[in-house]
Each structure stands twice: as structure tokens, then as C-alpha cells.
Amino acid sequence: MFRAILFTQWKWGRLLLLMATLAGFAIPLLSVQGLNTTYGNFYVVMSLQAFGIAYPLLAASAGLLLSLSAWTSDHRGRHVYALSLPVARWRYVLLRYQAGLLLLLLPILGIWLGAILATRFTHIPAGLHPYAAALALRFALSAALAYTAFFAISSGTPKTAGIVLGIAATLVAIQVLASAAGSDFNLLRPVFDRLFVWPGPFEIFTGRWMLLDV
């Protein structure tokens, strides 16, 4: 049963998985470009830091797209097929989740291998250390979290997704109106704090993502 589900999810998500894996492989390699060639690596480090934003973005987008691809076909058929199969709903959801999580290993592996190669074939100034495994681990957790969050929303009814989107849209609309009225009232800030500051769900996306300890 799991193999059947895994196969469908692979088929639906293979293109984006391939792209995410390639991107994951390329980002660490690109981020250290110039370490070998440029004197005074300050600007290279700046560019390395600039690449740091690519890791959480890739984790979030890979999680989002993979979760969407896991459910698109079921949504299209209004879940009739899945619900007419002799398997409990929770088990079906769990199987889909596990399959997606397994597939997510590909971009994670891409990041890890890219990071290892980047550090192996780059002249890293003495005293600096690469953190390929830590970077890959953090990417893994972030991508898994993004995948889980979007998976949970996607697995719900259209009403659930509508409520989530509705709340987000209402918050933004209130903020826009308040700003237009010249008010200092900031509604989004506390919401973002709740989401991105510990123990918020997306805290793992924030902070530094560096392959080297610079």
C-alpha cells in the first residue's frame, strides 16, 4: 500500500523534486564560488551570507509544492477515490505524509552532497569550519516542517483551507486599512512574532544559514 502511494507521489512530484534536488545541490556550491579566487574574502562571505536566504526559501517552497502535489489529484476528484478505498482516512493521510517525507529526502540529500562537495573542493581559510551536516539537518527539519504545515492544510476540506486563507487575508486587509488611515496599529507584527519567534512553528526558518562559520 505504501509503495503504491509512494509511486503516485513520486510521479506527481518528480519534476519539482528533481528541481529542488538540483537547486539544493547547487546552492552550497554556488555560495562558496570565489573563495578560491578572491583575495580578502569579506565580500565573498557577504555573498555566502546572501546565499543563506536561499536555503529556507528552498525548504519552504519544496515543502509547499510537495504537499500540494501530494493532494492535487485527490482534490481534483474531490477525494472520492481515496475515500472509496478500504483504508481508514487517518491511515491514508499518514501514508501520503510518509511518502512525501521520504521523497523530501532527495533535496535534503542534494543539499548535503552539495555542501560536502562545496567544502571539499574549495579552499577554506585556516581556522574556518564547514557545517555541511548541520546545514543539511536544519534544511531537513525546515523542509519537513513546511511540508507538514502545508500538508495539514491541504488534507483538510476546502472549508478548512478557506478559513486559513480567510484569516490571513483578513489580517492583511485590516493592516492595509489601518495603514491607509494613518494608524500606527500593527497587527501583522505580533502575528509574525507568534509564527517566527520561539516557540512559534516557523522559528527554524529564521536566523543564519551558513555553510562556514563566518
Partner 1 sequence: MQSRLGMARCGIQGLVVLVLLAAGARCGWGQDVASIRRRIAQLEQMKMELNAAADSHAALEGARRLAVLDSLSVGPLRLLAPHQSIDFARRVGEAAWTALRGRLEDSVAMVLHQRRFVLIPEDPADSTQTKAQGYATLGTVLVVPGNRPASLTALEIIVPVYGDLWRTLDPSMREWLSGPVTPTLDTVAVSSSNYLELVTSGSPVARGCYQGRMEDCEEALGLVRPADPAMAWYSVEGRRELVGRLGQVLRTGVTREVFTRCVVQHVDADCVALLHQDEALVPPPLSGSLRASYLLTALKLGETGSLARLLGSSEEASVARRLELTAGTSLSTLTARWHSAVLAMRLNPIQLTASTAGASVVWMAGLLLLATRSSRWR
Partner 2 sequence: MSNAIETKDLTYRAGKSFLLDHLNLRVPVGAIYGFLGPNGAGKTTTIRLLLGLLKPESGAIAVLGQPVPSRVREVLAGTGYVPERPHLHLSLTVEESVRFHRAFYPTWDHAWAAEQLRRFGLAPDRLLRQLSKGEMGKVMITLALAQRPELLVLDEPTDGLDPVVRRELLTAMLEYVSDRGATVFISSHLVHELERVCDWVGVLDRGGLVSEMPMQDFKNGIKRLVLAAPPERMDQAPFQVLAREMLESGNEVWVVRGWRPEMLSWVQQQTRGLREVQDLDLEEAFVELLRTARSGSTRDPGRPLATVMV
Residues that bind partner 1 (CB under 8 A): 39-42, 44-45, 78-79, 83, 89-90, 93-94, 97, 125-128, 131, 134-135, 137-138, 141-142, 144-145, 148-149, 151-152, 155-157, 160, 182, 184, 198-201, 203-204, 206-214
1 contact, one of partner 1, partner 2, none, CB 5-8 Å limit per kind: partner 2
- State phi, psi for 96 to the nearest 5 degrees: -60, -40
Q: Report if residue 102 touches partner 2, rule: CB under 8 A.
A: no
Q: How far is the CB of 87 from partner 2 (least distance, A)?
A: 6
| C-alpha to C-alpha distances, 152 to 86, 155, 176, nearest whole angstrom | 22, 5, 28
Contact status: 158 vs partner 2 (CB under 8 A): no
85 binds partner 2 (CB under 8 A): yes
Closest to 8 measured CA to CA, from 110, 60, 85, 61: 85
Residues 204 and 197: beta-carbon distance below 8 Å: no
Q: Confirm or reject binding of residue 7 to partner 2 (CB under 8 A).
A: yes
Q: Does 80 bind partner 2 (CB under 8 A)?
A: yes
190 contact choice in partner 2, partner 1, none (CB below 5 to 8 Å, kind-dependent): none
Could you check whether the bond before residue 130 is cis, i.e. omega within 30 degrees of 0? Answer: no
Q: Which residues of 22-34 are buried (b: 16+ CB within 10 A; e: fewer)?
A: ebbbbbbbbbbee
Dist CA 175 CA 90 (whole Å): 38
* Residues contacting partner 2: total by CB under 8 A: 19
Residues that bind partner 2 (CB under 8 A): 1, 3-5, 7-8, 11-12, 73, 76-77, 80-81, 83-88
